[in-house]
Chains A and B, each alone.
Chain A
Amino acid sequence: MVNGLNLAFQYLQGFSVLVLAAVGLAIIFGIMGVINLAHGEFIMVGAYATVFGYHDLGLPLVASMALAVGVTAAFGMVVERLLIKRTYGRLFDSMVVTLGLSLVLSQGMLVLRGTSEPSVPTPFGTISYGAFSQSVYRVALALAAVAVLVGVYWLFTRTEYGIRARATIQDEGTARALGVRTERVYSTTFAIGSALAGLAGALLAPIVSVTPTMGGTYLVKSFVVVVVGGPSVVLGTGLSGGLLGAVDAVVTNVYGQTAGSIVLLVVTVVVIRFFQDGVTGFTDRVRDRLAREGT
């Protein structure tokens, strides 16, 4: 028996985790075409920074999260300058370099901080409905996911950086000829993507166990969302998170967690096969075709 409200909450949970984890990767992949296989570890860095800020520095939770975002953004800038910059245009090479980086980061954190961290408490309380109850933080997380998407949309449409970034995606050569400093755009983009990954880690720290190897699951989730989403960053991540979150919630509710994970991955493969450019690639093509056939 499927309880509607339960399903809604579980869906929100799935959706928010997927969107938060993926949006950073979507920006980096969408704008720079770089596959960052260390993305999961950036999320891990954000989570660890939050715990560090909360337990070691004694900061309140929000300040710890802000610290985490800053730390991860700075870290991203360093990585971009030292490593990523040298692999532009070489997609597979960027994959291998970031794969190496992910090994260094996850193992390095293990050496640095040991096998697991003290936990960060979950803020807010519970909300009860009938025989059931949920953590209010879950709802907050979903709101945060939507806010992030809105924020990214604003970033790309209303700021200088956003305009330059979109120009660079569309046609790098022309953008450069028109005076856009594309190197700067790339650095800033990578920093923003990293910051968003750090934010995801920070927001997740209160509800999951923070371990050096936590990055792996989030990497797969992020990739799945980005690939299914397609070229449009905001719309793609949002739609894809929505679609995959729904699939996950329904299947998990009826068949259990393992089935949910497997079906999610299978759906990804099917989408890749039938919609090469993801959901928004498909909608773009449909829209183009309609425009041509219309007026």
Chain B
Amino acid sequence: MGTDAFPTGVLGRFEGPNTVGSGTRFWAALAVTVVALLAYPSVVGPFAAGQLTRYLVSAFLALSLAFVWGYAGILSFGQNAFYGLSGYAFAVVVGNLASPLGTTVGVGVAILFGALSALVLGYFMFYGGVRDVYVTITTLVVTIVLNTYGKTASQVFVGSVNLGGDTGVGIGEITLGAGPATYTLVQPATYYVIVAVLLATYLGLRALVNSDFGRVMVAIREDEDRAEMLGYDVKFRKLVVFTIGGGIAGLGGVTYMAWGYSITPEVVFSAAAAAYPVVWVSVGGRKTLSGPIVAAVAIEWLRTTASVQFPEFAKIGVGVLMIASILLLPDGVVPGLRGASRYFDRHGLADGSRLAIDRARRAVGRRVGGPIAVDESSEVVQE
């Protein structure tokens, strides 16, 4: 579009065809958003900040699915499995090594456990030749098995920690550090930490997705066989992507524990819970990274508010949202917004609105019946 004052070297790595937004204005907008997020707790108080923390945790889960689905074509209902396993792993480690060092180690162990589970499942699937919809079903089945087993494991101990079955596991405090240098993580510090980690994850993924690795991922998403024939080791790459996705979901699991201090099978492994990341990513924009984050936060906020005002209709609203978004904006809201902004870019605000209204009128007229004179000059808006 235009030239930018920023050197392509540093920020260029974070920009590319695989993500939305580039250039000075985008980064300025991002900076504004981050500042607003950081200022949020001071403005609205601890409770609302705690709420937003929960939504940001969902953003990790959304990112992990966006990464594997949007960029490698793997529709997985299993991100919740890795998310939940990581949360449980964290609780188990913290419960067994009841010390600040243990908790710190627990963070790493939990994230690695999420990645490792993804590695194992991914190996089983991709190296076994399981593809497309069968991958989806396998991940869904794995999550459900974890749910069924988890609920019954009420007197199962890992070390000294009872998995708790239906009531799950809880942790007391989160005190990190070692020896004399310890730090207890409480709100609103938890919020700031999660914002920082989310930002880092987002930027890291942006860089990855816009790199050569990311380009190959997209090639695999578009046509696996062709990528294979071009000489790329598709199985290995899908495995790497899936493992990274598991790690991000694992990160989400740890942040979930930091927010909620407890975990149960129903919250993470139920089929209903596994469906929500699909909602966030498909509404937000499957082939973007910012879309799912925004959609996850917005949809979760809407759900909570709606469930207070109209509890019975909240779920119906989510279902309608999913249907409408796929039918009307198949690429998601963020690309839809981008499409709309490009449209206005091209035609200007006034002209563009007039054209849009014309087209709408014509479309309705065609449905109702009767010929309507076509105005050639305004037709065919290229994207």
Complex contacts, A262 vs chain B, CB 8 Å = 145, 148-149
A99 and B316 in contact (CB under 8 A), knowing A220-B144, A220-B271, A276-B129?
Answer: no
Q: Is the CB of B316 within 8 A of A274?
A: no
Complex contacts, A158 vs chain B, CB 8 Å = none
A269 CB contact (under 8 Å) in B141, B148, B323 = B141
Q: Is the CB of A227 within 8 A of B152?
A: no
Q: State A223–B148 Cα separation when bound (angstroms).
A: 17
Asked if B356 is an interface residue, CB under 8 A from chain A, the answer is: no
Q: State A11–B323 Cα separation when bound (angstroms).
A: 39
Complex contacts, B37 vs chain A, CB 8 Å = none
Q: State A272–B130 Cα separation when bound (angstroms).
A: 7
Chain B interface helix/strand/loop/mixed: helix
A107 and B278 in contact (CB under 8 A), knowing A83-B327, A101-B323, A220-B144?
Answer: no
List CB contacts (< 8 Å) of A259-290 with chain B.
261-262, 265-266, 268-269, 272-274, 276
Complex contacts, B131 vs chain A, CB 8 Å = 276
Complex contacts, A58 vs chain B, CB 8 Å = none
Asked if B2 is an interface residue, CB under 8 A from chain A, the answer is: no
Asked if B186 is an interface residue, CB under 8 A from chain A, the answer is: no
Asked if A93 is an interface residue, CB under 8 A from chain B, the answer is: yes
A258 and B326 in contact (CB under 8 A), knowing A100-B319, A104-B316, A276-B134?
Answer: no
A96 CB contact (under 8 Å) in B138, B148, B282 = B282
Separation in Å of the B139 CB from the closest CB of chain A?
10
Provide the B122-143 mask, 1 if CB < 8 A to any CB of A, else 0: 0011001111111011101110
Q: Is the CB of B145 within 8 A of A266?
A: yes
Q: State A261–B145 Cα separation when bound (angstroms).
A: 8
Q: State A265–B145 Cα separation when bound (angstroms).
A: 7
Asked if B315 is an interface residue, CB under 8 A from chain A, the answer is: yes
Asked if B321 is an interface residue, CB under 8 A from chain A, the answer is: yes
Stretch at the interface among A63-71, A84-92, A124-132, A165-173: A84-92
Complex contacts, A108 vs chain B, CB 8 Å = 316
Asked if A102 is an interface residue, CB under 8 A from chain B, the answer is: yes
Residue of A nearest to B315 (CB): A107
Asked if A224 is an interface residue, CB under 8 A from chain B, the answer is: yes
Separation in Å of the A222 CB from the closest CB of chain B?
11
Q: Is the CB of B130 within 8 A of A97?
A: no
Asked if B318 is an interface residue, CB under 8 A from chain A, the answer is: yes
Complex contacts, A101 vs chain B, CB 8 Å = 319, 323
Complex contacts, A272 vs chain B, CB 8 Å = 130, 134, 137-138
Provide the A78-121 mask, 1 if CB < 8 A to any CB of B, else 0: 00000100110011110111011111111110110000000000
Asked if A35 is an interface residue, CB under 8 A from chain B, the answer is: yes
A103 and B124 in contact (CB under 8 A), knowing A111-B316, A265-B145, A276-B130?
Answer: no
Q: What class of interface size applies to chain A in its complex with B?
A: 35 or more
Q: State A99–B320 Cα separation when bound (angstroms).
A: 10
Separation in Å of the B157 CB from the closest CB of chain A?
18
Residue of A nearest to B330 (CB): A93
Complex contacts, A110 vs chain B, CB 8 Å = 312
Provide the B298-330 mask, 1 if CB < 8 A to any CB of A, else 0: 000000000000001101101111110011001
Residue of B nearest to A35 (CB): B133
Q: State A220–B136 Cα separation when bound (angstroms).
A: 12
Separation in Å of the A269 CB from the closest CB of chain B?
5
Complex contacts, B134 vs chain A, CB 8 Å = 227, 272, 276
B141 CB contact (under 8 Å) in A95, A105, A268, A276 = A268
Q: Is the CB of A103 within 8 A of B144?
A: no
Asked if A30 is an interface residue, CB under 8 A from chain B, the answer is: no
A104 and B323 in contact (CB under 8 A), knowing A216-B271, A265-B141?
Answer: yes
List CB contacts (< 8 Å) of A232-247 with chain B.
none
A107 and B312 in contact (CB under 8 A), knowing A93-B330, A272-B130?
Answer: yes
Q: Is the CB of B330 within 8 A of A90?
A: yes
Complex contacts, A223 vs chain B, CB 8 Å = 137, 140
Interface residues, chain A, with chain B CB atoms under 8 Å away: 35, 83, 86-87, 90-93, 95-97, 99-108, 110-111, 216, 220, 223-224, 227, 258, 261-262, 265-266, 268-269, 272-274, 276
Q: List 21 A-B contacts (CB under 8 A).
A: A93-B326, A97-B322, A99-B278, A100-B322, A101-B319, A102-B319, A104-B315, A104-B320, A104-B323, A106-B315, A107-B315, A110-B312, A220-B140, A227-B134, A258-B149, A269-B124, A269-B138, A269-B141, A273-B130, A273-B138, A276-B131
